[in-house]
Structure 1
Amino acid sequence: SAKQGRNKEFQAILPLRGKILNVEKSRINKIMASQEIITIITALGTSIAEEFDITKARYHKIIIMTDADVDGNHIATLLLTFFFRYMTQLIEAGYIYLAQPPLYLIKKGKQKIYAQSEEEKEEALKEVGAGATIQRYKGLGEMNPDQLWETTMNPEKRTLKQIIIEDAVEADNVFSILMGEDVEPRRRFIEKNAKKVVDLDI
């Protein structure tokens, strides 16, 4: 659907099969043996680590598109871990973005409103009034090409979140805790931040 929905004049799609390797737990030889990671490196054209050359980047806006659920968030985190550890300059240059696909489509007659949260959904229902239908998107795969373009790929309408590094030391620490081998720091981190979770998707 994404390939069909894109504008071929200025958009390219790189489909990935499921979750990529967790580079935080892997040696470089295993990373370079991963077909998915090699595909990403080749597509971007920059190489990685010490050989990284940002001037060879084929794209200046790299958008991670995943489903708005636990698996989608995990895939996005794995990709961000890879970019942070081996292509940090792409983040520093402001090239990396997360797409923010809608969770709901509210329809009434010819009126359509996309909502990215429960709060937006409730506001949309108040706006359109009684008799509206609600569609809950479980994933990008449920959208047809026109809906994908309209909600996630159209530069004039889509919502993107730019990935920035405010504190490199803190970012390094968080990636190590969340994606590394040591379980105990991760457990402490989760316990400390559990109260901040307002929307848990199980």
Structure 2
Amino acid sequence: MTDADVDGAHIRTLLLTFFYRYMKPLVTEGHVFIAQPPLYQVRKGRQKYYTYDDDEQNRLLDEIGREGCAIQRYKGLGEMNPEQLWDTTMNPEQRVMLKVELTDAVEADRLFTILMGD
């Protein structure tokens, strides 16, 4: 689990490189997942919405209308209170998880070498 912003993406790349290079069976056997914390919380009236990127945020605001919305952009997981973190990222019934799958080992190795070196 890393932050939803660019810094979090960099840390995620470091972690994925570690798992790919030093714990490859965890990846090939399907045991590595990426938790997806939201980037934004939008409140309108009593409704709460969470969005995960700028495009999704704009679509939501177009759908519900921008007027009367209170928008919070999370700069990191540390800005969420424990309940928000549970509701959005930890709760198995609501969380968004991406399973890391190795579909092209040669291409994966090439990309990790480009991103991280040998």
Settle same-fold status: TM greater than 0.5.
yes
Larger relative contact order (C-alpha < 8 A, sep ≥ 6)?
2
Question: Could you tell me whether the CA contact under 8 Å between 2:39 and 2:74 is conserved in 1?
Answer: yes
Structure 2: gaps (5+ residues): none
Map residues 150-165 of structure 1 onto 2, 5 A cutoff: 150-165=87-102
- For residue 85 of structure 2, the aligned residue among 148, 162, 165 is 148
SS of equivalent to 1:105: strand
Q: Counterpart of 1:99 in structure 2: which amino acid?
A: A
- Equivalent in 162, 171, 178 of residue 108 of structure 2: 171
Corresponding residue of 1:36:
none
Larger Rg: 1
- For residues 115-157 of structure 1, what are the alpha-carbon distances to aligned partners after superposition, in whole Å with 9 as ceiling and x for unaligned? 1122221232234332111111111110000000111111111
Does 2:69 match 1:132? yes
User: Per residue, is there more strand in 1 or in 2?
Assistant: 2
Which amino acid in 2 is paired with 1:177? I
TM-score for the superposition, normalised by structure 2: 0.91
Q: What displacement does 1:163 show?
A: 0.6
Instruction: Write the distance in 1 (CA, Å) between the matches of 2:12 and 2:80.
Output: 19
Give aligned pairs, total: 117
1:78 aligns with 2:7: no
Identity score, percent:
61
Distance 1:177 1:122, change over 3 A: closer
Q: Tell me the residue number matched to 1:180.
A: 117
Q: Which runs of 5+ in 1 are unaligned?
A: 1-64, 182-202
Instruction: Determine the structure 2 residue equivalent to 1:69.
Output: 5
Whole-Å separation in 2 of the counterparts to 1:133 and 1:122:
14
**Matched-pair contact (CA < 8 Å) for 2:4–2:52:** no
Shift of 1:103: 0.9
Q: Does 1:93 align with 2:25?
A: no
The match for 2:44 is 108
Is the 2:19–2:26 contact (alpha carbons within 8 Å) kept by the matching residues of 1?
A: yes
Distance of 2:6 and 2:62 partners within structure 1: 29
2:59 is aligned with 1:123: yes
Shift of 1:69: 2.1
**Rounded Cα–Cα distance in structure 2 between residues aligned with 1:174 and 1:126:** 36
